[in-house]
Amino acid sequence: MAKKKLTFEDALGKLESLAEQIEQGQIGLEESIKKYEEGMGLVKHCRSILTKAEHRLHQLQERADGTLETKPIEPPTHPDARP
């Protein structure tokens, strides 16, 4: 069965829950490390969603006459991106 893609809101909710568990000391060290790793994956997922949304918004640009036009844009390259 394919894994359901998390929405931004769902991922953020899970991330907040993980952070709360770690901060309150509800779990041991090993479990905290696992939760931290899971949280970093959720952060990456949220950043990806936000980046895609930002690109979609930037595609609409206003012309001098006030009308909107769609312009193709290239996603920014990140120094840590792999070819």
pTM for the structure as a whole: 0.64
Residues of the domain holding 57: 8-70
Residue 52 covered by a domain: yes
Residue 83 covered by a domain: no
pLDDT at 73 over 90: no
Residue 65 covered by a domain: yes
pLDDT at 16 over 90: yes
Residue 49 covered by a domain: yes
Residues in the chain: 83
Residue 44 covered by a domain: yes
Q: Which of 19-28, 35-44, 54-63 has the highest mean pLDDT?
A: 35-44
Query: 3-state class of 67 per DSSP?
Result: coil
Kindly indicate the confidence band of residue 46, based on its pLDDT and cuts at 50, 70 and 90.
Answer: very high
Residue 75 covered by a domain: no
pLDDT at 56 over 70: yes
Q: Report which of 32, 33, 40 is spatially closest to residue 15, judged by C-alpha positions.
A: 40
